[in-house]
Structure 1
């Protein structure tokens, strides 16, 4: 079968090459395209994946199977829809929902409880570990009241200045 003077296999192959080049451009300039299609059903990733699957399946079926070109196109179309749906449900949606930042602001550390891993001397620096849901943070620390704090003591973060936390020994409510 010919369309516009080209064999259908050639059209499928050209479609495959073009969708491959567009996928490469999507990798390089994906952030720009995400700005053009924010949270759209027709995301560039799904669109180029669909065209790639359709072109590849059509080309392979034209080479291997002796069905009518219209039947091969319909089979390729259904197969591409199924594969893109599976890609979206099982890969893209879980990846997008798993994107959580573990970045924290130093101001967020105020009021958190940590443990001293390097003793804090008078007028000196030590190190404190703060554990949380997003991971463990180790920060340089000084004593807020300029008093020594021993190793393995629980501390409360009072302030953060120039990347160094200022802490006080922590006394829980149970100790009263």
Structure 2
């Protein structure tokens, strides 16, 4: 089949090459296009480019290896591209977007957390604390809130964070129970 005097295989291959180049450009300059997706969520550039790649690649391969009519191959390719786009969205893009959000933490979210001293805090000095979180272990410099020494291995409560330094006090679960 020919469209405007050009063989359909050539159109599929040219579309595949151009969309592949656009994907590479999108990798480098995707932040600009992500702003477009904020206003209109169904116009996700990743899904649009993936649809074009799936459509053109399956159309090209089917034109080469099957004796089916070009119109039937186009319909099969559209169906295949839709299925692959849905799978890409639900099994890769949506989990990646939620995983990206869950890995982030702020200093404010660390206040009130219980951690463990891994480098002793001397009086009027600094040590190091480690807090176990969802995204792994978080290690930060620490200073005693009450200006007392705290030995290694002691569980501590984070009260404040100033300039990236956590101000902590020893945390005793038994003494907290007696206040209740």
- 1:126 paired to 2:164: no
Residue matched to 2:47: 46
Contact 2:128 2:140 in 1 (8 A): yes
* Inter-partner Cα distance in structure 2 for 1:105 and 1:42: 31
- 1:174 paired to 2:177: yes
What is the correspondence of 1:1-176 to structure 2 with a 5 Å cutoff? 1-38=1-38, 40-172=41-173, 173-175=176-178
* Inter-partner Cα distance in structure 2 for 1:99 and 1:50: 24
SS in 1 for 2:93: helix
SS in 2 for 1:148: coil
Residue 16 of structure 1 deviates from its aligned partner by 1.0
Q: What is the TM-score of this pair, normalised by structure 2? A: 0.85
* Inter-partner Cα distance in structure 2 for 1:4 and 1:19: 21
* Inter-partner Cα distance in structure 2 for 1:165 and 1:97: 28
* Inter-partner Cα distance in structure 1 for 2:3 and 2:34: 34
Contact 2:103 2:134 in 1 (8 A): no
Q: What is the TM-score of this pair, normalised by structure 1? A: 0.86
Residue 20 of structure 1 deviates from its aligned partner by 1.0
Residue 33 of structure 1 deviates from its aligned partner by 0.7
Question: 1 or 2, which has the higher helix percentage?
Answer: 2
Unaligned runs of 5+ in 2: none
SS in 1 for 2:74: helix
* Inter-partner Cα distance in structure 2 for 1:102 and 1:82: 30
* Inter-partner Cα distance in structure 1 for 2:126 and 2:172: 21
